[in-house]
A and B are shown apart, each in its own frame.
Chain A
């Protein structure tokens, strides 16, 4: 257990509405990540953070923004949700400075109608 929680765990929203997903960690890890999981695609990186206010894009960042104002919280925002953003979203942390091993939260299932 890497002390990662995600909220909400499930959300249904309508096209065009803004949505924010929250990732919270309790162990002061520097690196945090947002992924989406879709059938046939595995896990794809959306954005990641390497410190407070330090973020960078992943491979599928279009339509998403992130913010990290505190070490423990990493927020993912869909400014105007689309049906193609229906997915399961996972947050992860990197377990230490000398390893690339990541540990994942329980996920948020988002449905955009």
Chain B
């Protein structure tokens, strides 16, 4: 039972344009959501998070949007840069999962110069 899904294995965008990465979840008890970025041969790096009491959180070029009714979150990167090319994972946690995170499968973002 995949509780967190990233339906797009890959995404390619031009430098300077917006990148939108999507994530869907099924567990209505999830109340905290995170995005991680992962470069090859490195560990995942925490990028940004959002609590279910908010619908938007912004940090520089990165904005996460949460639509609780649709059980959907998205990560917007504006403007995209070649250094943003990486695998992006969304993750979720909630009261019933304790401190555990449930991850999506990941989306490979490629930003072309």
Contact = CB atoms under 8 A, between A and B. Distances in A.
Interface in A14-52: 31, 33, 35, 40-45, 48, 50
A94 B99 contact: yes
A50 B100 CA distance: 11
The interface size bin for chain B is 20 to 34
Interface string B19-61: 0000000000000101010000111111001000000000000
Nearest to A104: B43
Contact of A31 (B41, B46, B99, B106): B99
B43 A106 contact: yes
A36 to B, nearest CB: 11
B40 to A, nearest CB: 10
30 contacts: A4-B43, A31-B99, A35-B103, A40-B9, A41-B105, A42-B89, A42-B103, A42-B104, A43-B44, A43-B89, A43-B101, A43-B103, A44-B103, A58-B100, A90-B43, A100-B32, A100-B34, A100-B93, A100-B101, A101-B34, A101-B49, A103-B46, A104-B36, A104-B43, A104-B44, A104-B45, A106-B42, A107-B41, A107-B42, A107-B43
The interface size bin for chain A is 20 to 34
A102 B103 contact: no
A104 B92 CA distance: 16
Interface string A83-108: 00000001000100000111111110
